[in-house]
Amino acid sequence: MSYQALARKWRPKNFTEVVGQLHVVKALANALDQERTHHAYLFTGTRGVGKTTLARIFAKCLNCEQGMTSTPCGTCSACEEIDTGRFIDLIEVDAASRTKVEDTRELLDNVQYSPTRGRFKVYLIDEVHMLSGHSFNALLKTLEEPPPHVKFLLATTDPQKLPITVLSRCLQFNLKRLSDDAISTQLEKLLKAEEIKYEKTALYALARAADGSMRDSLSLLDQAIAYSNGDVTDVSIHEMLGTVPREYLYKLMHALANNDAVTLMQSTQELAQLSADFNGLFADIIEVLHQVALSQAVPSMLDTLEIDADLVKGLANSFSPENIQLYYQIALIGKRDLFLSTSPQSALEMTLLRMLSFKPAGGGSIKKAPIAKSPENTPIRSKSMQSKSVLHDSIVKQDEASAISDTENNQVKHSGSIDSLSANPKEWSKLVDQLGLQGVSYSLASNCSIESIEDEIITLHLSSQHEGIATKGAKQRLEKSLQEFLGMAINLNIDISSDALETPAKQKERVREKIQSQAEKTAESDEAVKALKSQFGAEIIAGTVKPINN
């Protein structure tokens, strides 16, 4: 017996075998069971999601010899003939090849006659949007008032091209693109039935390549079985598709977590030599960052991952949520600009270097120690570096160990304990810059001064003109930061004062004014400026002089 393609062999023959279109199946099954069927149905959706398959199953349900039902027997002559494409009362038309009005009129000439074998005469018109305007006009009258023994089943990938008069006369069902999980699960079920060896990661690669189409995934699987000689492995799939092996994705993400620019550049060089699909690699990086962000927000999401779970878990513990959000945005922009670059390799390199170079404002870089990589090229979680400093999470340095050491020394010198803070209230200004605060909470701390510290209760003064920034959230973030920094439970009170207060914000403003004044004096005394003034009558516009450093 000749070989039958998997897409044909495993084509669903009843509603229970249809994958991922429950919303359509439920509506059609209920209509059949209640005998409330419409005379015209329109199935829309991208290629390979089951439009014509559902139409054929529906035709089988209408004409099964056991009676009109949502569960046809599949064994009667009507069911078997529909499955094999030999049922005389199921008229299938490819509108792409029969676009002329003469073809449509010829088709409709026999509508008035009763079915030969079945209960209904079913017209299945595929790619109906390809019909000409005159063809739609010819179809319209029959579609509006068909004989009771006729059903029209229309299928299209582009419903926007159908006249509104046709759309209004049909029940429309929008079939959705299938998820990668749904496709890979179906492929796994199929391979088990076919007794063919496989790797799960290979099936996910096929599902991603199918881009939501079950039929495309089965065609790719046919090709993969032949290519891999009956052993569908991850390596063979990536070789066949020309995509980037998963190990390179792991290698890049490990290097990114460890701030290892050398390994990143070596990896991109190797990928260029392999003529890798850089566009696909960008998509993989974006997807992994998306999974990391989800797992950080909802840790239970990790339990739903069947692949990359270890990698996602390691990255979630190595980067702060702020970093992941920044990397995700950088990767999106890198993918968008991929074809504007001189080469895909340079586009990837610059994107990865941007991730290493940019950090979110206020810190938020490495949350714990970088992750290490195992000999098997799978990510593992490294132990968090232990430190006496409670502030090291907010320090951004290329050398983390050095950053932690510098921070510890700084804490000993400035505000290392609540006692030193109480003894010298001026230390508050130095402390504010070490708390890693951002936004409103930083503004709140900067505009406060210490009133008292008693029994682990810190009371701050806030000028009445800044009362609006003393929000509940800002106060809570400031209190939490103080607790983490001082390593003890404290309560924070904020009193509103009408007095002029000495605050960190005022101290910084005085410093800025001093620097600005010095910059203006330096500009005025510059010999080149003096020459421009004397020879050309030049003037320095007030407010335009800016200090180049502090």
pLDDT digits (tens, 9 = 90+) for 183-207: 999 999 999 999 999 888 889 889 9
pLDDT score at 417: 57
Q: Does residue 434 surpass a pLDDT of 70?
A: yes
Asked which of 50-64, 68-82, 135-149 is least confident by mean pLDDT, the reply is: 135-149
pLDDT score at 546: 79
The helix (H) or strand (E) run that includes residue 141 is helix 133-144
Read off the pLDDT band of 108 (50, 70, 90). Answer: confident
pLDDT score at 183: 92
pLDDT score at 122: 92
Q: Does residue 374 surpass a pLDDT of 50?
A: no
pLDDT score at 365: 45
pLDDT score at 380: 30
Q: What is the mean pLDDT of residues 74-95?
A: 90
More confident residue, 154 or 487: 154
Q: How far apart are the first and last CA of the chain?
A: 84
Asked which of 116-120, 248-252, 422-426, 480-484 is least confident by mean pLDDT, the reply is: 422-426
Report the C-alpha gap between 449 and 35 in whole angstroms. Answer: 78
Q: Does residue 96 surpass a pLDDT of 70?
A: yes
Percent of the chain with pLDDT over 70: 87
pLDDT score at 361: 62
pLDDT digits (tens, 9 = 90+) for 492-515: 988 888 777 788 888 888 888 888
Report the C-alpha gap between 378 and 308 in whole angstroms. Answer: 9
For 364-411, the DSSP string reads --BSSPPPEE-TTS-EEPPPPPP-S-S-GGG---SSHHHHHHHHHHHH
- Which residue in this structure is represented by tokens 């096929």? 206
Asked which of 177-186, 225-234, 416-425 is least confident by mean pLDDT, the reply is: 416-425
Asked which of 323-327, 411-415, 476-480 is least confident by mean pLDDT, the reply is: 411-415
Distance set, CA 417 to CA 212, 437, 447, 455, 486 (Å): 59, 19, 22, 14, 6
More confident residue, 384 or 542: 542
Q: What is the mean pLDDT of residues 173-191?
A: 91
Q: What is the DSSP letter of 540?
A: P
Read off the pLDDT band of 29 (50, 70, 90). Answer: very high
pLDDT score at 401: 38
pLDDT score at 421: 66
State the chain's mean pLDDT as an integer: 82
Report the C-alpha gap between 56 and 79 in whole angstroms. Answer: 10
